[in-house]
């Protein structure tokens, strides 16, 4: 054990001598946590610019314009009486929508001709377009109901009867789990988990590949010829450091007032399994590819699309089967699936059993693979030792 902890101390010194590794491992989660948190802190999209083309210029069209002006999601950037060249303005103004009220709009309403309001949505940004569309529909449906009820009242119906005649039934939406539709609650936890998987990948990609490059590997195998011993030495510092980083980024949840239950035992199990799976995948690449640059580049191939492939923002049911199958064996996919069950639905260990099982499979397969591969490399190295070795210093 004395030799083991001596090597662990050396490992710590090698980790802290790598400024790039420290910047990635410690700085990235904190920096990106603040950046993404503040980006989504507002919680919802507001003041989307729209243009209203009022070709009628009547009291009714004025009421419609006032209703849009009162909506917090929409910002009436311009009211004009002719369309002009809106397409030419789009690159600079980027209007979310253009609403056109046709000529004789008010007269057609009074004469029951059912005039049509044209809404042109800017679909270049899907989030803005969907948000604007919902708000525009809400405003116009409310006004439509109000105009219809006023018309019925003018025929002599009592206001209560007029409202009942227009509404055959009522609709009551009860929003569950993130009831306010807060975007920071939706996005930030998933992004923090994706960041943690990526920095663990990148950190572990250097643990053995660096040793192969600078010759330190030769010193290590003089201490022991068993791969499991060296895996334990390399893992020990990160088994201490990774929980600290998880503790730090978990503070973003209360800091940004995210309504998610993350401080519980099932979440602890889930975080531990994600960390181990990410560690073992990163370490396997580090053993298989004796180049720091190539190991990190190949791991980036996995980590870069991981958030998209996880199904966190776009449902995995819409993926082609081949892509969906591959995505299931990226640790982040299982973590985020189980995260929602625990943090928002109040699930327990049994509810995330499928995700736990797949994470355990990933851990087992990668551990056995790196154990055998490293043992093979130790055998080959001992059979054909290098001429120059670095010296292990306490």
Q: List the CATH number of the domain containing 120.
A: 3.40.1710.10
pTM over 0.85: no
In a domain, 174, yes or no: no
- Reported as a pLDDT band with limits 50, 70 and 90, residue 168 is low
Residue 291, CA distances (Å) to 43, 107, 238, 285, 379 in order: 43, 76, 20, 10, 19
pLDDT one-digit tens code per residue, 24-65: 788 888 888 888 888 877 767 888 999 999 999 999 899 999
Q: CA 55 to CA 67: how far, in whole Å?
A: 17
Same-domain status, 122 and 231: no
Q: CA 228 to CA 185: how far, in whole Å?
A: 41
Classify strands 74-80 and 48-54 as parallel, antiparallel or unpaired: parallel
In a domain, 306, yes or no: yes
Same-domain status, 267 and 143: no
Same-domain status, 158 and 186: no
In a domain, 172, yes or no: no
**pLDDT of 220 above 90:** no
Laid out side by side, the sheet with 97-101 consists of 74-80, 48-54, 97-101, 118-121
In a domain, 176, yes or no: no
Strand partners, 97: 50, 121
Rg (CA), the chain: 30
Same-domain status, 244 and 95: no
Write the DSSP string, 228-268. HHHHHHHHHHHHHHHHHHHHHHHTHHHHTT-----SSHHHH
In a domain, 348, yes or no: yes
Tell how many helices (H) and how many strands (E) occur in the chain: 19, 4
In a domain, 355, yes or no: yes
pLDDT one-digit tens code per residue, 103-149: 998 898 888 888 899 999 988 887 888 889 999 998 988 888 777 76
- pLDDT computed for residue 12 by the predictor: 87
**pLDDT of 387 above 60:** no
Given 140, 166, 192, the domain boundary residue is 166
Same-domain status, 33 and 54: no
Residue 325, CA distances (Å) to 190, 319, 333, 340 in order: 20, 9, 11, 20
In a domain, 143, yes or no: yes
Q: CA 143 to CA 148: how far, in whole Å?
A: 9
Task: Give the total residue count for the chain.
Answer: 394
Same-domain status, 336 and 190: yes
**221 in Cβ contact with 378 (< 8 Å):** yes
Higher confidence at residue 342 or residue 318?
342
- Reported as a pLDDT band with limits 50, 70 and 90, residue 211 is confident
| Out of 126-135, 142-151, 238-247, 257-266, least confident range | 142-151
Structure tokens at 46: 């507001």
The helix (H) or strand (E) run that includes residue 333 is helix 331-343
- Reported as a pLDDT band with limits 50, 70 and 90, residue 393 is very low
Percent of the chain with pLDDT over 70: 92
Residue 26 phi/psi, 5-degree rounding, is -100, -45
Given 139, 166, 193, the domain boundary residue is 166
Same-domain status, 98 and 191: no
- pLDDT computed for residue 224 by the predictor: 87
Same-domain status, 58 and 207: no
- pLDDT computed for residue 285 by the predictor: 94
In a domain, 59, yes or no: yes
**263 in Cβ contact with 189 (< 8 Å):** no
Same-domain status, 31 and 110: no
Same-domain status, 131 and 215: no
Same-domain status, 14 and 61: no
| Out of 1-10, 98-107, 223-232, least confident range | 1-10
- Fill in the DSSP letter of residue 119: E
158: containing domain: 48-166
What is the domain count for the chain? 2
Match 């950046």 to its residue by tokens. 35
- pLDDT computed for residue 227 by the predictor: 92
Same-domain status, 255 and 289: yes
């Amino acid at each position: 054990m004395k030799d083991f902890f001596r090597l662990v101390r050396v490992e710590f010194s090698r980790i802290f001598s790598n400024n790039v590794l420290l910047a990635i491992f410690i700085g990235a989660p904190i920096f990106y946590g603040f950046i993404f948190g503040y980006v989504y802190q507002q919680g919802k999209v507001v003041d989307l610019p729209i243009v209203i083309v009022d070709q009628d210029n009547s009291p009714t069209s004025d009421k419609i314009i006032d209703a849009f002006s009162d909506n917090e999601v929409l910002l009436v950037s311009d009211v004009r009486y002719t369309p002009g060249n809106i397409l030419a303005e789009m690159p600079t103004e980027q209007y979310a929508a253009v609403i056109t009220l046709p000529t004789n709009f008010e007269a057609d309403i009074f004469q029951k001709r059912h005039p049509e309001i044209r809404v042109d949505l800017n679909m270049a940004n899907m989030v803005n377009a969907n948000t604007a569309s919902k708000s525009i529909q809400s405003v116009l449906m409310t006004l439509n109901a109000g105009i219809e009820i006023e018309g019925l009242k003018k025929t002599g119906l009592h206001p209560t009867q007029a409202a009942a005649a227009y509404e055959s039934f009522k609709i009551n939406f009860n929003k569950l789990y993130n009831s306010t539709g807060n975007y920071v609650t939706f996005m930030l936890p998933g992004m923090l988990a994706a960041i943690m998987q990526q920095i663990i990948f990148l950190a572990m990609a250097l643990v053995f590949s660096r040793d192969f490059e600078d010759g330190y590997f030769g010193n290590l195998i003089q201490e022991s010829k068993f791969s499991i011993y060296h895996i334990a030495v390399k893992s020990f510092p990160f088994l201490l450091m990774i929980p600290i980083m998880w503790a730090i980024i978990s503070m973003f949840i209360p800091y940004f007032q995210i309504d998610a239950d993350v401080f519980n035992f099932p979440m602890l199990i889930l975080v531990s399994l994600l960390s181990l799976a990410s560690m073992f995948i990163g370490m396997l690449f580090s053993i298989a590819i004796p180049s720091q640059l190539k190991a990190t580049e190949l791991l980036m191939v996995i980590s870069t699309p991981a958030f998209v492939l996880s199904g966190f923002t776009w449902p995995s049911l819409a993926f082609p089967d081949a892509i969906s199958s591959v995505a299931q064996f990226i640790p982040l996919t299982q973590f985020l699936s189980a995260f929602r069950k625990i943090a928002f639905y109040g699930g327990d260990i049994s509810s995330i059993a499928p995700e736990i099982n797949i994470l355990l499979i990933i851990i087992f397969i990668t551990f056995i693979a790196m154990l055998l591969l490293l043992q093979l490399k130790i055998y080959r190295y001992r059979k054909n030792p290098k001429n120059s070795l670095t010296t292990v210093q306490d």
